């Protein structure tokens, strides 16, 4: 198993309540619900061509910076 990194987030009361409700209804921990949401978000971004184009540009700029 890969090492884990602890992170903290700040949520509005409404977001926290909604998250707790989803976790309770799905009989999952808050941590698991958050992990699934993050995984789904990252997967969606990876498939988004605008995001991919921006990522390629950022990588290109970084490579130019290292060469110069």
Query: 63 with 53: CB under 8 angstroms?
Result: no
Q: Which two tokens stand for residue 39?
A: 């995984």
More confident residue, 66 or 22: 22
Q: Which two tokens stand for residue 10?
A: 């700040």
Q: What is the pLDDT of residues 35-67, one digit of tens each?
A: 999 999 999 999 999 999 999 999 999 998 888
The pLDDT value recorded for residue 1 is 77
- Mean residue pLDDT across the chain: 95
Question: To 10 degrees, the CA torsion angle through 34, 36, 37, 40?
Answer: 160
What global pTM score does this model have? 0.78
Query: Where do runs of H (alpha helix) occur along 1-68?
Result: 13-25, 30-47, 49-67
């Amino acid at each position: 198993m890969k090492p884990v990194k602890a992170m903290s987030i700040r949520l509005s009361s409404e977001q926290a309540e909604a998250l707790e409700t989803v976790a309770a209804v799905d009989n999952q921990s808050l941590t698991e619900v958050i992990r699934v949401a993050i995984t789904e978000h990252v997967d969606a971004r990876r498939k988004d061509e605008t995001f991919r184009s921006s990522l390629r540009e950022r990588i290109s700029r970084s490579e130019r910076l290292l060469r110069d």
